[in-house]
Amino acid sequence: MNRIGIFTAILFLSGSILFAEVKVGYIDSQRIFEDYKGIADLKQQFDKQQREWQQEAQRLKKEYEDLISELERQKLMLSDEARKKKEEKILGKKQEYEDYVRKIWGVDGDASKANIELTKPIIDRINKLLEKVGEEEKYTIIFDIAEGGIVYAKQGMDMTDRVIEELNREFEPVTVGEQKIVIFKFKELTKEAEEFEIANILFNLIYQIVDKTEKFKAIEKDRVDLTLRQKGLEREKEIPVDRGCEIGKLLNARIILLGEVSKNTEITVKTRLIDVETKKILVEEIARSETTKEQDLQTMVNDLVGRITSKYKP
C-alpha cells in the first residue's frame, strides 16, 4: 500500500513568535506507517481488493490473447471479411483490457482512491495527535522529515517514537484488574433532554469518571467515533445492542455501556453494562437528578458509576 504523505503538520501557537522561544520538532511519517500496528488490517483489506482487480485484469487479458491465438490458427481458412471482423474484435477486447487497467491503476484510479479512503482515518488520528502534542508541549512548528520538510534537526527533537508509542497504545495489554469498555452516547428520550444536550454532558462526565476507576479502561473517544463512522452509525441516536457489541469486539473491549436519558420534572438516566461476547446485561442502574446544574449532574454520575463499579464482577 502506498503511503499517503499528506499529513505534514505545521503547528503555530497563537500570538506572535517574534520574541518568543521557538520550539521545532519533526516526525518521520514513513516510519510511522511502517511501525504502526494498526496498518496491518488496512493492508489486508487493500491487498484483498488488489487481488480481485488483478484477477479481473488477467481474465480480460487472457480473453484478448485467446482471440489472437484463435486468429493465428484460423487465418489461412478465413475470408478477408471474416478475418477483418476478428481483428476488429481483437482490437475491441484489447481496448477493454487497457481501459480497465487505466480505471484501476491509472492516475486517480480506483486503487489510488481506495488507498486514500483506507489510510485517511489513520492520517486524521496522526494529525489530531500532533495537534495535541504541539499544544501541550508548546511546539512552534513540527515538520515531516520523510517529505523533505527540514534538512537539519537537533538531537532529541525527533517525535516519531512518541507518535508510534501513542498510536500503538491501543494494542497494549490491559492492566490487571481493568476491563476495556466502550462507552456510547446515551439515547435522549424527550425533547427537553435534546434541547439541553444532556446526553453529551453525561457522556463526557461518565467517560472521565469510568476511565479513572480501577476496574475499567475506557476506549478512546476518537477510536470509537472513527469505528462508528466506518460502520455508518455516527448519526444514529441509539446504538442497538448487537451493533454495540460488534463495535466492542472491533475495539478489543470486553464490555459496553449503553443508556438512555429523559428530562421532565427531573433527569432520569438508565444504564446497561453489557458483555460483548454473550450480549447479556451484567449491570442495570438508574440515577436521577433534580436539576441540570453541573454540580448536581456530577454528583449523580459519581453515584451512578460507583454503583455500576461495585456491582460489576469480571
pLDDT at 231: 83
Q: What is the pLDDT of residue 6?
A: 38
- What is the model's pLDDT at position 274? 95
Q: What is the pLDDT of residue 21?
A: 66
What pLDDT was estimated at residue 43? 85
Quick check: helix, strand or coil at residue 143?
strand
pLDDT of residue 13: 36
Query: pLDDT for 264-289, tens place per residue?
Result: 889 999 999 999 999 999 999 999 99
- Report residues of the chain scoring pLDDT below 70: 1-21, 148-157, 169-177
What was the pLDDT predicted at 10? 38
pLDDT at 28: 85
pLDDT reported for residue 155: 59
pTM of the predicted structure, to 2 decimals: 0.47
Q: What domains does the chain contain, in order, with CATH numbers?
A: 1-171 (no CATH), 179-311 (3.40.50.10070)
Alpha helices (H) along the chain? 29-35, 39-74, 80-105, 110-136, 160-167, 191-195, 198-211, 221-230, 241-250, 294-311
Written as nine digits, the cell of 264 is 421532565
Predicted local confidence at residue 258, as pLDDT: 95
C-alpha cell belonging to residue 87: 481483428
Q: What pLDDT score does 34 carry?
A: 82
